[in-house]
């Protein structure tokens, strides 16, 4: 019962939270080491996702002062939360037996780490952190999140509800994850595909204690769309169905119009004509957009660019 744990923490412009975060994590991990729950080789691995503030300087300083507690990975560019996480996990997997990913703002309750680790020792390869309530979220965030989970289910994407990216993965699970070769990784959707023995730890999610969210609405929307299009082709099927429906409707309309003409009721329907032109035009553009979204995805995947590039890796044995 003395295996190596890496805490992987993506950081983007987190200078306000890092001093406090590192203090709390050092206390947590240090305590676990002292009790012999995890090995002395365990580390807190901060991943600097191309920050523009002093984040990296803080991380480098932490590593310099306490190399047996803190490691640092500096990415060459800002690649976003998911890629930063993948980068950290990729680097960590060669040194650890298990890795837990959590946010730099410590919204995820640090005390749940003990439960994660005991589940791991109990034989689980993946442990999901699930929020016990969303009471502290704004009404907007709560309802959009709920609606989104419903929509994902409808699209046939399997995800763990109310689970963000607070999770433990064993080395075996990490190695499996690395075999998913796609550039566009939506971890919440991919991890459940891995399988192995899994379990859930519930925790209370608190508010960000300093700094502001690095996930503005625009990024969140992009993330949400990615989640759907990376896992489901149902939107395209829906377009096909819509097309058939409209075609069937137009056949009926044509027959009716012919009958009307035969019986001499040919009133020039300018309004209907204009209306249908706009409606059909709109639907066509929307459908093209959805299909374009997938083609864009193929384009990105086909190029197979690296998910991240490492600038520096500070990790002392």
With CB under 5 to 8 Å by kind, the binding choice for 142 among ligand UDP, Mg ion, none is none
Q: Which is nearer to ligand UDP, 109 or 125 (CB)?
A: 109
Residue whose C-alpha is closest to residue 67's, from 41, 100, 95: 41
Site for Mg ion in 188-207 (CB under 5 A): none
Q: x/- string (CB under 5 A) for Mg ion, residues 204-243?
A: ----x-----------------------------------
**Closest approach of ligand UDP to the CB of residue 9, in Å:** 6
Nearer to ligand UDP, 104 or 152 (CB): 104
Q: Which of 242, 245, 223, 244 is nearest to 234 (CA)?
A: 242
State how far the Cα of 112 lies from the Cα of 28, in Å rounded to an integer.
Answer: 10
E strand or H helix at 271? helix 270-303
Q: Name the binder of 215 from ligand UDP, Mg ion, none, CB < 5-8 A by kind.
A: ligand UDP
- Residue 89 binds which of Mg ion, ligand UDP, none (CB < 5-8 A, kind-dependent): none
Starting at the edge strand found earlier in the chain, the sheet holding 5-11 runs 198-203, 126-131, 163-170, 98-101, 5-11, 43-48, 70-75, 310-314
CB 74 to ligand UDP: min, Å: 12
Question: Looking at beta carbons only, is 14 or 109 nearer to ligand UDP?
Answer: 14
Options 14, 48, 49, 105; binder of Mg ion; rule CB under 5 A: 105
Q: Per DSSP, what are the bridge partners of residue 9?
A: 46
Contact segment (CB under 5 A) with Mg ion among 25-33, 73-81, 107-115, 142-150 equals 107-115
Residue nearer to ligand UDP on the CB measure, 21 or 170: 21
The entry of ligand UDP, Mg ion, none that residue 14 binds, CB within 5 to 8 Å by partner kind: ligand UDP
**By CB under 5 A, residue 49 contacts Mg ion:** no
134 vs 208 by CB, closer to Mg ion: 208
**Helix axes of 234-262 and 270-303: crossing angle, nearest 10 degrees:** 160
Q: Which of 208, 160, 179, 159 is nearest to 86 (CA)?
A: 179
Which residues are near ligand UDP by CB under 6 A?
10-12, 14, 49, 78, 80-81, 84, 103-105, 107, 208, 213-215
Tell me if 116 sits within 8 A of 201, measured CB to CB. yes
Long-range contacts of 219-224 (CB under 8 A, 24+ apart): 219/80, 223/82, 223/186, 224/148
The partner in contact with residue 81, picked from ligand UDP, Mg ion, none with C-beta cut-offs of 5 to 8 angstroms by kind, is: ligand UDP
Output 78 or 230, the one with its CB closest to ligand UDP: 78
Distances (CA, A) of 270 to 273, 307, 308: 5, 54, 56
Output the smallest distance, CB 12 to ligand UDP, in A.
3
The answer to whether the CB of 41 falls within 8 A of the CB of 79 is no
Cβ distance to ligand UDP smaller for residue 98 or 164 = 164
Residue 107 binds Mg ion (CB under 5 A): yes
Which runs of E-coded beta strand occur in 158-255?
163-170, 198-203
Decide: is 83 part of the binding site for Mg ion (CB under 5 A).
no
Contact 38, 274 (CB under 8 A): no
Alpha-carbon gap, residue 234 to 41, rounded angstroms: 46
Please name the residues in contact with 227: beta carbons below 8 A apart, sequence gap of 6 or more: 148, 152, 157, 159, 186, 188, 189
For ligand UDP, give the closer residue by CB, 62 or 124.
Answer: 62
Q: Which residues are at the interface with Mg ion (CB under 5 A)?
A: 103, 105, 107, 208
């Amino acid at each position: 019962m003395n295996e190596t744990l890496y805490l992987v923490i993506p950081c983007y412009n987190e200078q306000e939270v890092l001093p406090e975060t590192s203090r709390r994590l050092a206390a947590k991990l240090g305590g676990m080491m002292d009790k012999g729950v995890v090995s002395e080789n365990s580390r807190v691995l901060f991943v600097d996702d191309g920050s523009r503030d002093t984040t990296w300087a803080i991380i480098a300083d932490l590593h310099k002062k306490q190399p047996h507690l803190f490691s640092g990975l500096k990415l060459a560019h800002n690649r976003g939360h998911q890629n930063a996480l993948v980068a950290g996990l990729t680097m960590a997997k060669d040194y650890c037996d298990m890795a837990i990913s959590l946010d730099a703002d410590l919204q995820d309750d640090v005390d749940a780490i003990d439960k994660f680790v005991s589940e791991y020792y109990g034989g689980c390869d993946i442990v999901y952190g699930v929020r016990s309530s969303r009471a502290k979220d704004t009404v907007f965030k709560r309802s959009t999140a709920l609606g989104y989970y419903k929509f994902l289910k409808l699209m046939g994407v399997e995800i763990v509800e109310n689970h963000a990216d607070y999770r433990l993965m064993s080395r075996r699970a990490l190695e499996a994850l690395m075999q998913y070769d796609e550039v566009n990784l939506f971890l919440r959707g991919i991890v459940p595909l891995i399988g192995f023995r899994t379990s859930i730890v519930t925790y209370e999610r608190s508010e960000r204690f300093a700094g502001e969210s690095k996930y503005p609405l625009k990024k969140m929307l992009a993330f949400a769309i990615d989640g759907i299009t990376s896992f489901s082709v149902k939107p395209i099927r829906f377009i096909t169905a819509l097309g058939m429906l409209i075609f069937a409707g137009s056949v009926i309309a044509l027959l009716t119009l012919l009958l009307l003409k035969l019986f001499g009721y040919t009133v020039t329907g300018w309004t209907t004509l204009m209306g249908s032109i706009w409606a059909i035009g709109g639907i066509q553009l929307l459908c093209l957009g959805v299909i374009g979204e997938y083609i864009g995805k193929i384009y990105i995947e086909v190029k197979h660019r690296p998910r991240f590039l490492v600038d520096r890796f500070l990790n002392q044995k």
